[in-house]
Structure formats: C-alpha cells, structure tokens
Structure 1
Amino acid sequence: MSELENILSFVRLAGRLKDTPRSAYTALGKQESTAEHSWRLALLAMTLKPKYPNLDFGRVLELCIVHDLGEALHGDIPAVDQDPTRPKSTAERDDLITMLASLAEADRLRFLDAWEDYENGGSPESRLVKALDKLETIFQHNEGCNPPDFDYAFNLDYGRKQTDFDDVTRTLRELADAETRRRIKGLPPIQA
C-alpha cells in the first residue's frame, strides 16, 4: 500500500470512535460516542485559547484528538467500572500501538508521544487537556437525558485533582458542580 492508503486505513480505523459508546447520554437521550466527546473537548479547548497565551494550542488540539484514540478497538471503560489492577491506560496504549501500525514510523512516534504526554501529564498542555477532559465529561453527564438511576453524585468527586489545574478550570469546575447539584435535586438539565 502507498503512504496515503496507509493513512486512510488508519483514519478509517479511528473512525470506529463514531460508534464507540460512552456512559454519557445526549440531551435527546442518545448514547454519546467517544468521537463526539473528543470533538467537544477540542471545541472547549479552542474557546479557551485566549486565556492561555503561553500554551501551544496546536499541541492542545493534538492531545484532545489522540487522548481516547485507543478506545476505537475495545471501547471505553467508564470510570466507575475500571479495574484498579489493570489500568485503562495499559489497554488503551496497546490498542493505540496496534492502530498506528499502518503509519510511517515518524507518524507512529508522533501520535504515541502525544498520547503519552496526555497520559502522564508531562506538559502544561496535557494537564490542561486532562482538566478539560474531566470537565467535558461532567458537563455531558449534567446535560444528558440519562437513565433514572444515573449517579450524578459521582460527578462531585470525579477528576477533582485534574480540574484544580488553574483558576480557569477551577471556575469551570464550580459551574459544573452547581449543575451537578441541580441534577441531584431532580431539576432538568440546562439546555442551549
């Protein structure tokens, strides 16, 4: 296969994220996909760019796109269902390496470097994306038309360490927590 055919093969494989369900639901009650989550995470990051003039937003967007890429092969494991003896990241890294096999070595290394930066929180960009990843998840939980037994209280502790990144993410967290408390009280979600 040619280099471009290999790239297309990789992109098609990554396209499985469109059909990879997450534990969150949309406002209309459809189960959210990993692709939808990653898209809105990138959108949230883009809107915050002016607040972070010293960060590399090309890198921020790369991290948003690659952070859940490995889920294309074996799906998402919700935080409440994760096995502490086998971290989710181990399986996702293995799956990502499998997915990257058709790409040229330089591209494989670039994608893997971005994923590892995100996973390890090794840069200010990755720490911001980790915070926004947690926040986007909470916002989606609060906006969704969820099953009656949905545990909104879980949101109040979820990702607290990551969302304490800075004043901006702490303020967004306060807004998310206020929305969570509304949902716990049985109030309807805030809609656009």
Structure 2
Amino acid sequence: MNGFSTGEEDSRGAADLICCLLDENKRCSRPAGNASYSKRIQKTVTQRRLKLNLDHMARHIYICDYHKEVIQCARTKQQQQRRRKDSEDDSGETDNDVPEVDLFQLQMGTLRRYKRHYKVATRQNLNKTLLAETLTKHFKTIPVVEKEALSFFIYTVKTNANKLDQKNGLSSSDTT
C-alpha cells in the first residue's frame, strides 16, 4: 500500500488468486490451485471441445482444482474410448479382466528397444503415439503362463539375480 512490502504479498502466491478460466463464458470463482493453463492443456481443452477459455483479464494462468479434474477426466475418458475401440477391432480379444498396460507412459527409447527385441514390423519414423498403439496391440498378443512367470519372478527375487547379470556372465554371488 505505502510502497513497502510486508512480505505477505510475496508469500501468498496462487493461493489468493481465483481460477483464470471462463466456464461457458462465465468467470470461475473458485480459488486457483498450483496447476497452470499451459499450451498443452489448452490444446487438450480444444480437442475435447470443453467449454473452457482463458480469461485474458486474469493476470495469471493458474486454474482451480475443479477444472484441473474436469480436464484430466476428459483426457482419461478419451483414452478409455480409444482402448475400447481397439479391443473391439481386435476380434481375438475377448478377455476383459486382463489388466491394461499403458505403454504411452514409456519413453521413446524404451518403445524402440521393445520393437527391436520382439522384431515388431512397423513403418519407419512413427511418432510416439502410433508406436505405442502398435506395440500395445503386439503386447496383448503375447501368451503368458501366469504360474510360470510368477515362479520365475519369485525365484529371481529370492536369489537376488536378474537377467542382465546372467547375460553378462555374472552369477548372483558376484553381484553381492
């Protein structure tokens, strides 16, 4: 007020701000959280056709937890629809109690190693999304004998070994 800072203004941060979004052209009055309305989030809102816009009168880009949740739910809903569509397209997939493995979370290098290891045929220079979709379809086709996999896992944990040690010619006693 008088030109001196008491420190309170500086320490408040986003806690005293209200959400910077217009929800159906009406300014949200909820307190802003620590999530910001980035270009990526803006793209998600546009793609999902959510009726949210940035209020250009706001002097910040922080959004409330409610709108953060709305945007995240819209994103996960589309991913679930994509997975459902993929499983309908694959006529061999009828088992619904199989847990989903989200290969979209892996890094590009990991996806490429998976592709190389299993010799999955794809066209060159696929982007991450297309490569992850292709590898997810391949992953679902791999037969797994559950008892055998669990037995091997428990044995590996008990002996404190892993496949990398075996490939390098090391035994479990050499690694400890």
Q: TM-score, normalised by structure 2?
A: 0.24
Q: Which has the higher helix share?
A: 1
Structure number with greater CO (CA < 8 Å, separation at least 6) is: 1
User: Whose radius of gyration is greater, 1 or 2?
Assistant: 2
